[in-house]
Amino acid sequence: MGKEWERRQALRVLGNKSALYNCRLIGFQDTLCDMGNHFLKDCYIEGTVDFIFGSGKSLYLNTELHVLDNGITIITAQARNSASEDIGYSFVHCKITGIGSNTYLGRAWRTSPMVVYAYTKMFEVINPAG
């Protein structure tokens, strides 16, 4: 991925098959760099812009995504290069909380990002456009 992702994060997970339970990840921009195959359950992740980013293939289960108001905020920046790559983020039975009302669910870091929000409660912090 080059040097562009080598900046400060609260946590950078590069290996495969990591599991995080009951973790609190507190940051601002680029809170979690997710670059492998991971499982996160019952976690709390806080940030503003691209606070979950990278080219991971991860399942987030029962995790709270808390957005800090910073004007326009974006939860994910997923880095999939093509539709044939088997990577992406799945948020299942999660909730999105925070302050403000101009948060977007994600943006493309590469050409074919894949992010799924299933059975996730989204509060007023999410911009209606998604």
Q: Residues 30, 42, 69, 86: which is the catalytic one?
A: 30
50 noted as active-site residue = yes
Q: Residues 34, 42, 50, 69: which is the catalytic one?
A: 50
Q: Supply φ then ψ for residue 110, to 5 degrees.
A: -115, -165
34 noted as active-site residue = no
Distance CA 4, CA 6 (A): 6
Residue type, 69: D
Residues carrying an active site annotation: 30, 50
